[in-house]
Structure 1
Amino acid sequence: MKILKGNLLTQILIAFVIAIILGIIFGESIEILKPFGDLFLRLIKFIIAPLVLSTLVIGVASIGDPKSLGRVGSKTIAYYLITTAIAIIIGLGFAFVINPGKGLTIDVPNTEVEVNETEGVIQTFLNIVPENPFTALTDGNILQIIFFAIFLGLAITIVGKKAEPIYNFFDSFAEVMFWITGIVMRFAPIGILGLVAPIIGQYGASVLLPLLKIILTVGIACLIHAIVVYSLAVKTFANMNPLTFFKGIAPAAVVAFSTASSAGTLPVTIKNTQENLGVSNKISSFVLPLGATINMDGTAIYQGVAVIFIAQFYGLDLTFMQLITVVITTILASIGTAGVPGAGMIMLAMVLGAVGLPLEGIALIAGIDRILDMFRTTINIVGDAAGAVTVAGTEEDEIDRTAFEK
């Protein structure tokens, strides 16, 4: 009983198992629990903008030297691009091994799949600059908040002593937001119950079984990517035991799996990365918000599997150059779709168009996209945390090892 009262991860996992059982038993009638999930999501979303702003301002101001900020930024971007490339290759590899689309006979749904178009890489970069920073805060535009916070932090550093009151304000503000985050996380088990049970109740075995191979392919590829790539990254660059890393980020991973939202999980990711993995505030507050918008390892795996699945379903063979195009397009699309709702589906439409596959193939997996989204979001946020640990491990005194070496 003492463990149940004190261990948040245990409580979340128990709630997750109970949600699955209730969803199977009661089916769609378990929808009655959905308001609890919606409330938890609202609580998470209401702290995202102020938390990102306050922690990132302090993080940038703490780095101080603009050259140091540039060094941290370049390491972060390099990590995200390299791991995304590896992820798409792993996705393609497992898709060819398991062959999820071969021998499949299902009716393609007649319903249209609405995929909002992205404005492209150039326009996305332009959209990072807010015309009104307060509007960005109101709308929860993470990329624009990041831009505003970086400039604010740099200005505090450059101005120096006269800006100390502003620095102290944001420092205190960040502490208050961490306290609020801790309070919100106490409701996580109830929120997980309200989020997962309706999903399990909605998707019965009759819907999942015909597409079980693609679900398993995405799940296995995500698991291997996490075990191999992230373990090597945190061990090589931060000398951190991979088991310590996965245990530390586990609560955020469960929340990500339940909510299927990288941005929605961000407060939990920041809290776990700092408290459980010992990453400093100035590294985590910069690397994690950026990762929540542009790091898409899980989505890249999904792209690789989905492309091969659709090609196999239609009996089409992709050439080596088409596979290279898939890798390049996915990496570029991860930037071009940053901050766009439904980014996974948008990226898939872009990739299918780049290699000449029918866009109608999206309808094949649209019904289970929510299930696949849970897998890819989990890997996305675990990848963000691994990035924070990796970057912190290459900077001096940016990991407090007393946080996990007990």
Structure 2
Amino acid sequence: MKSANLTRNILIGMVLGAALGVVINMVGPATPGFAWLVDGVFPVVGRIFVKSLQLLVVPLVLLSLICGTASLNDVRRLGRIGLKTVAFYLATTAIAVSTAIVLAVLIRPGDGLSLDYTAEFAVRESPPLTEVIMNVFPSNPFASMAEGNMLQIIVFAILFGVATCLAGEPGQRVLRLANDLNDIVMKLVMLLMQIAPFGVFALVARTFAAEGLPAILALGKYFFLVVGVLLVHLFVTYGLLFRVCTGLSVRTFMRKVRKVQLFAFSTASSNATLPLTLETVEHRLGVKPAVGAFTIPLGATINMDGTAILQGVATVFIAQALNVDIGVQGYLMVVLMATLSSIGTAGVPGVGLIMLAMVFQQVGLPVAAIGVIYGVDRLLDMVRTAVNVSGDCVVSVIVAKSEGEFDFDAFASVGDD
């Protein structure tokens, strides 16, 4: 199946899934005939598809990073690429949360609401900073792979790649084997993508059947403001950054990442989308493996622009609804915490809620108020993920071009988008 046809079919599957899900929600998910779809067919098909992709994440990240790191030849370049990548990810996160706060203060989505936040809402505690730092470094790489701990896998793969680069002829033999295995894994990714439209249909239908339009309408102003800020960040922030730093066509870029965005929207998981993101960056956007193998796995782990936007809008929304003035100092604290915690809480389950709970505690808002907005968070999470993977691609192209690891012909080609 050609890439253009696959993109079209994913979009069709997403639209049909959303339409069917809304209809089921309006009629009633428990209605005989629909219950077996919502509780049986959709979850089974969707989960099998997502688990099939998650199966490839660990070997893909491990092999790609080893190949990319070992092919650099100059180990000092790895440090330079790493610094650039982290700097861009932190900068875009700071811009994202700042934009969210400014627009939320101007539009005031929480005015006129009377919120009931007395219900308890449990959020997993954030681990201490010392534990976070120690947990970045693996004690058993096989355990890290079994648990899917992405930061530990990244650290091990980089160290292994550096050792491969420095090992001379034995290292070259290992590199050739790693390249062959990486090619096989990428081929498997493309085989699985042929069933993507069916998986996307099931995932989206299940989500909209469970959430429906009433959940959106109840918090309409908040919901559409978050979506609006996410789109502003995608097209304005990322667009300007991409154009200024690379001089390349933003329209071409957006066309080539469209399939990744649709897939990220349907799965709401950067990790599940990672195989497709990496394949798109290296084969369609022109980023060479030496850079893409590092920037994409790291971005899937620490790039939290979408979550930062959620924190900014949610903080202002709840503060306005409760008639609490957290002041300029409070907003600056939100910006700082969202930016720095994007790395500090990476890899922690429920990271979005953990980060939002930390922000609420810091500015004096009740953590239980998170329960008010949680009902629509699944739908917003889908949009956030699409924006996050777009940011991963933007930063990858920028870093690759600055390092001379960019293929202009691949980017300019029209046959792969």
Out of 195, 209, 229, the position equivalent to 1:201 is 209
Query: What is the CA distance between 1:123 and its match in structure 2?
Result: 2.1
| Stretches of structure 1 lacking an aligned partner (at least 5 in a row) | none
Residue of structure 1 equivalent to 2:240: 232
Q: How does 1:144-159 map to 2 (within 5 A)?
A: 144-159=152-167
AA paired with 2:98? I
Out of 246, 249, 262, the position equivalent to 1:241 is 249
Residue of structure 2 equivalent to 1:91: 100
Distance (whole Å) between structure 2 residues aligned to residue 172 and residue 257 of structure 1: 31
Cα deviation, 1:233-292, whole Å, max 9, x if unaligned, reads 222222221111111111111111111111111111101111221111111110010111
Residue of structure 1 equivalent to 2:58: 49
AA paired with 1:316? V
AA paired with 2:283? E
Residue of structure 1 equivalent to 2:18: 20
Out of 115, 118, 123, the position equivalent to 2:126 is 118
Residue of structure 1 equivalent to 2:79: 70
AA paired with 2:203? L
**Is the Cα–Cα contact under 8 Å of residues 115 and 321 in structure 2 kept in the other structure?**
no
Residue of structure 1 equivalent to 2:324: 316
Query: What is the CA distance between 1:77 and its match in structure 2?
Result: 0.7
Out of 276, 283, 295, the position equivalent to 1:287 is 295
**Is the Cα–Cα contact under 8 Å of residues 280 and 400 in structure 1 kept in the other structure?**
no
1:337 and 2:345 correspond: yes
Distance (whole Å) between structure 1 residues aligned to residue 149 and residue 56 of structure 2: 13
Distance (whole Å) between structure 1 residues aligned to residue 165 and residue 281 of structure 2: 25
Query: What is the CA distance between 1:383 and its match in structure 2?
Result: 0.7
Query: What is the CA distance between 1:106 and its match in structure 2?
Result: 5.0
Residue of structure 1 equivalent to 2:7: 9
Out of 52, 59, 66, the position equivalent to 2:68 is 59
Residue of structure 2 equivalent to 1:165: 173
Instruction: Please give the TM-score of this superposition, normalised by the length of structure 2.
Output: 0.93
Query: What is the CA distance between 1:137 and its match in structure 2?
Result: 1.0
Q: Given the superposition, is the C-alpha separation of residues 370 and 323 from structure 1 closer, same or farther in structure 2, using an over 3 Å criterion?
A: same
Residue of structure 2 equivalent to 1:357: 365
Cα deviation, 1:127-159, whole Å, max 9, x if unaligned, reads 111110011111111111100100010001111
Q: Given the superposition, is the C-alpha separation of residues 170 and 314 from structure 1 closer, same or farther in structure 2, using an over 3 Å criterion?
A: same
The alignment yields a C-alpha RMSD, in angstroms, of 1.6
Q: How does 1:27-38 map to 2 (within 5 A)?
A: 27=25, 28=29, 29=34, 30-31=37-38, 32-38=41-47
**Is the Cα–Cα contact under 8 Å of residues 23 and 199 in structure 1 kept in the other structure?**
yes
Distance (whole Å) between structure 2 residues aligned to residue 202 and residue 311 of structure 1: 28
Cα deviation, 1:205-258, whole Å, max 9, x if unaligned, reads 332211011110111001011111211222222222111111111111111111
Query: What is the CA distance between 1:6 and its match in structure 2?
Result: 5.6
Q: Given the superposition, is the C-alpha separation of residues 6 and 91 from structure 1 closer, same or farther in structure 2, using an over 3 Å criterion?
A: closer
Cα deviation, 1:345-403, whole Å, max 9, x if unaligned, reads 10000111111111121111111121121121111111111110110111114234334
Distance (whole Å) between structure 2 residues aligned to residue 320 and residue 273 of structure 1: 39
Query: What is the CA distance between 1:107 and its match in structure 2?
Result: 4.2
Distance (whole Å) between structure 2 residues aligned to residue 389 and residue 45 of structure 1: 24
**Is the Cα–Cα contact under 8 Å of residues 20 and 197 in structure 1 kept in the other structure?**
yes
Task: Say how many residue pairs are matched.
Answer: 403
AA paired with 1:231? G
Instruction: Please give the TM-score of this superposition, normalised by the length of structure 1.
Output: 0.96
**Is the Cα–Cα contact under 8 Å of residues 262 and 292 in structure 1 kept in the other structure?**
yes
Residue of structure 2 equivalent to 1:346: 354
Distance (whole Å) between structure 1 residues aligned to residue 93 and residue 86 of structure 2: 11
